[in-house]
Structure 1
Amino acid sequence: MARRRRRKRQTNSLLSILIVAIAVIWGVGTSGGQSSFQTSHFTDLIGQSDQSASSASSTLNSAKTATKSYGGLSASDYQKLAKLNFKSGSQAFVYVNNNHSTLIKHAWKVNKVIYANLDKLNRTSSSNTAFLEKRNVANDSLRVRQYVEPTGWHSNHGRNQIYNRGHLIAYSVSAGIDQDGQYNPNNQSGDQNNPKNLFTQSAYSNQKIQTIFEAKVRTALRQGKKVIYQATPIFRGSELMARGINLQAVSTDGKLDFNVYLYNVQPGYSFNYANGRAKRDASVKVSESEN
């Protein structure tokens, strides 16, 4: 009888050990499987996050060179820029191609400006490209009143200046250039009321942002450098007011080199780019600090 009881206790002990072992193995297996799923799921989320960040990027990090002999903005990159939307609170410009021009610096041959023809909507929707040197720096005292009304133009009323007649190739670097783009030493007043060189631009974009990059070009010219400078208003579809403007420049020695896209925006106002009309909008803010 005692022997049977010992055998029964041994059997029960073995059974208990077996149950515990199975439970441990099950627990480890379940825990391992759950951990594996969580890691995989986390990796998937990271991938989704990266894709979202990439698609939301507002900067054209790489750009193609146009097929023209002097390069510049390509047709495909024009369309990419046209799709960009300004986000309130951001800076009014972004760098293109990591701030490197796609112009070909060795293409500088003759001091001139290539003015593109107006499109079928009378817009300056193509690139104007200038081959500049020191003699093109203009005297501001020779400026005259502007009277050309580019597409999307509306007169300013009251004290708030919203609209400017924006030059593609700045007046300040056009001394001696006539409206055909040729250098004429008798034309020191430069290019002013040329329909092929004007577009409706916000006062902020023109006076606060574009002047920064025009100053870089003037400085290089005064230093005796030869510069290729290109300006391209960017229109979306058949809209009459440009969404922005691509400015890029390169000197023949490579010391001057930039490529930027300026949003055509005005703090405190929103534009209907289809016709250029503006309305007060306190939600439109522009950051003046570096990102």
Structure 2
Amino acid sequence: MNNKTRVDKKNIRIFGIMLFLVVTLFVAFFIYRYIENKSTSNTNIVGLDINKLPEYNGKPYVVINNNEPNFDKSELVSKSFEKYSELDSLKRCGVADSIIGQDLMPTSKRENISSVKPTGWKSVKYNGIEGGSLYNRCHLIGFQLAGENANKRNLITGTRYLNTKGMLPFENMIADYVKETNNHVRYRVTPIFVGNELVARGIQIEAISIEDNGKAIKFNVYCFNIQPNIEIDYKTGNSWRK
């Protein structure tokens, strides 16, 4: 074998290695972009178009999808569980999923949760807001339902209005039903972020009572993360009075 043949084979081998590396990097880049796009966007539940969110009409929530939650029949079992999405690349919460039963409910008082600073969190107060503070650390699955304390995968930056006027009435409804009947409720809460915003525009809550096939509890609502008379920059959490 002459020197030219050896050099040609060596060059072919080097070219093959370089081509393999380029293809590998190319594939890795697109896999990364796919994962990144998934992690910085919400799972959109059927019945709510994230590109055309409901407009606030003076009420803390609106009914969506004709009040029908989007659960598969196979999910409606009388066995309690709770599952929280991993934080995305911006450290935002995702879907909180559960079946609420008495065995999931707390048996002790709520602990301090001030150690958690959800995305967009600002300590700001305004006159005229109950309690003074614009923002609360809002549980996706309320403490009275699952007993979660400083779980960063279950706490978002939510207005006082969202917390007490939007979400709380539905949480109370479920808690009362479960305590009175010892039945179970399929329950899912989805924070709705737009693009790379750090503060959720709202919360989608879906629920159905299991043992009675939705006779007592069945709803699909969107709760607004707004505060009357206050303007919010959802990209940062900054705010000002209108």
Partner Cα separation in structure 1 for residue 73 and residue 45 of structure 2: 21
Partner of 2:218 in structure 1?
A: 257
- 1:92 matched to 2:60? The reply is yes
* AA in 1 matched with 2:162: S
- Determine if contact 1:115/1:129 at 8 Å carries over to the other structure: yes
Contact persistence 1:246–1:260 (CA under 8 A): yes
- Partner residue of 2:145? 173
1:100 and 1:258 in contact (8 A); partners too:
yes
> 2:185: which partner in 1?
227
Tell me if the contact between 2:47 and 2:64 (Cα under 8 Å) persists in the aligned partners. Answer: no
1:82-136 alpha-carbon deviations (Å, 9 max, x no partner): 532534x531211011112112355225321111111110001x21111121233
* 1:101 matched residue in structure 2: 69
Q: How does 1:137-286 map to 2 (within 5 A)?
A: 137-138=105-106, 142-147=109-114, 148-157=116-125, 160-174=132-146, 190-222=147-179, 223-252=181-210, 253=212, 254-255=214-215, 256-281=217-242
The 1-side partners of 2:47 and 2:237 are apart by 20
Partner of 1:115: 84
Quick one: distance in 2 between partners of 1:76 and 1:211? Answer: 21
TM normalised by structure 2 equals 0.73
Match of 2:207, SS state, is: strand
The aligned amino acid for 1:150 is P
The 2-side partners of 1:118 and 1:78 are apart by 24
Structure 1 runs not aligned, ≥5 long: 1-72, 175-189, 282-291
Match of 2:10 in 1: none
One-letter amino acid matched to 2:106: A
Q: Report the count of equivalent residues.
A: 191
Q: 1:164 to 1:78 in 2, by over 3 A?
A: farther
Q: Is the partner of 1:142 in helix, strand or coil? A: coil
Q: 1:74 to 1:238 in 2, by over 3 A?
A: closer
Could you state the TM-score of these two structures normalised by the residue count of structure 1?
Answer: 0.61
Instruction: Letter of the 1:161 partner, please give it.
Output: S
Instruction: Give the number of the structure whose alpha-carbon radius of gyration is greater.
Output: 1
8 Å contact from structure 2 (residues 65, 220) kept in 1: yes
Are the aligned partners of 2:48 and 2:65 in contact in 1 as well (CA < 8 Å)?
no
Residues 83 and 236 of structure 1 are in contact (CA less than 8 Å); yes or no, is this contact kept in structure 2? no
Give the % identical residues: 34
Letter of the aligned partner of 1:228 in structure 2? Answer: R
Structure 2: runs of 5+ lacking an equivalent = 1-41
Secondary structure of 2:150's counterpart equals coil
2:233/2:239 contact within 8 Å kept: yes
- Inter-CA distance 97–79: structure 2 relative to 1 (3 Å threshold): closer
With over 3 angstroms needed to count, the CA separation of the structure-2 counterparts of 1:270 and 1:78, relative to structure 1, is farther
8 Å contact kept, 1:205–1:262: yes
How many angstroms does 1:169 deviate by?
0.6
Q: Quick check: 1:131–1:229 contact (8 Å CA) kept in 2?
A: yes
